[in-house]
Structure 1
Amino acid sequence: MSTTTPQPPSSIDYAKLNHNLAIATVIICPALILLPPRKLDFYTFTLLSTTLLGGNQLAQDYTGRSLVVRVHEAAEQLKENSLRKKEERQKFQQKQMDQDREALVGKINMNIEGGKSSVLEELRRTQDEAGRAQWKVERDKREKEAAEEGRGYGDLIMDQVWEVWNWRKKTSDADEDENIDEEKKDGKR
């Protein structure tokens, strides 16, 4: 009597099984979601997750790249594009400032009669633009620091109001302690 031993399934069989199972989940799970009672609960989210996993497997089988890889590549591409645009914008602004500076120097060198007031106005205008650019950089820096500390825009607004109210003077703890001590002395008398 001869006995045959079952051979282990090969990786091709596993791949075919995964593919067929993915097709089944992409068809069956949405159908089960649509059956009554239609409600959002753990069961529905499980079926939806299974559908997404099956779709991801099918995308990887047909194209060689999964949906997760595609989303990651798209996010990286968006990040690169935004950095490139930011650099281009900064170069353009620097070029504009250089051109304005050259034009201003040209006007000063020409020493035109009655042109001194217009030269001063242009100088004041370029200084204002530089001040605004510096202010924007400082504001972005404060927003970034606040975000890292876990504070929001409301906290930034309150800090700004506090600075304006107190004329940019920050009270130290020693000043506050002296004020409290003086109030206590006045209350005891």
Structure 2
Amino acid sequence: MSTQQPPQQLTASQIKEQEMYAQRNRDFEKFKTYTAYTFLLATPVLIALPPRKLDHLTVLLTGAFAISANHLTREKTGRSIVERIEAKIARPSMLRQLPSDRAEEVQGRLRAAREAQLREGGMPADEIEKWKGLQRKQEQGVVDRVWMGGEEKGWMERRLEEEKKALEEGKGYGDLIYEYIWDVWSWGKKDEEDDE
């Protein structure tokens, strides 16, 4: 037989102690927030001051900036920057869970219906192929698109062929590097001018 004990009544000193403990926690959280704002604003300034060099102090200041930004992001949104990056990169098993097999099936049917509608609408075959290419790019992951830079399969063979042709014409590697850099710098305007 167990007897129930009456709930323990808190004394005035215990209540005051709990309130003081809660106030200390609030003050500590406020201190962390103000410190994070201070580091977030002050570290780039301190890094930019002369002498500008990459040493242990710069690494420490960069780390303080990153930790401050991470803390403030977690405080404002509930998720830290690190958690957001992990969610974007996510493990392959987690990626495979979404979309479900049923969702992929429905998407396939919708794509087929769109293609049929485009063919019936009298759209030329080359336009349909362009549309399919856009669909494939949308299905491709963001990380893959950024990493590959819009290149498709066989890019390395094409690049080696271009390199071989340029070397046969008497150009050197310096010229090739210059052309690649100029192409990036001008956003491909050189190619567009040649086409016109």
TM-score using structure 1 length = 0.38
TM-score using structure 2 length = 0.36
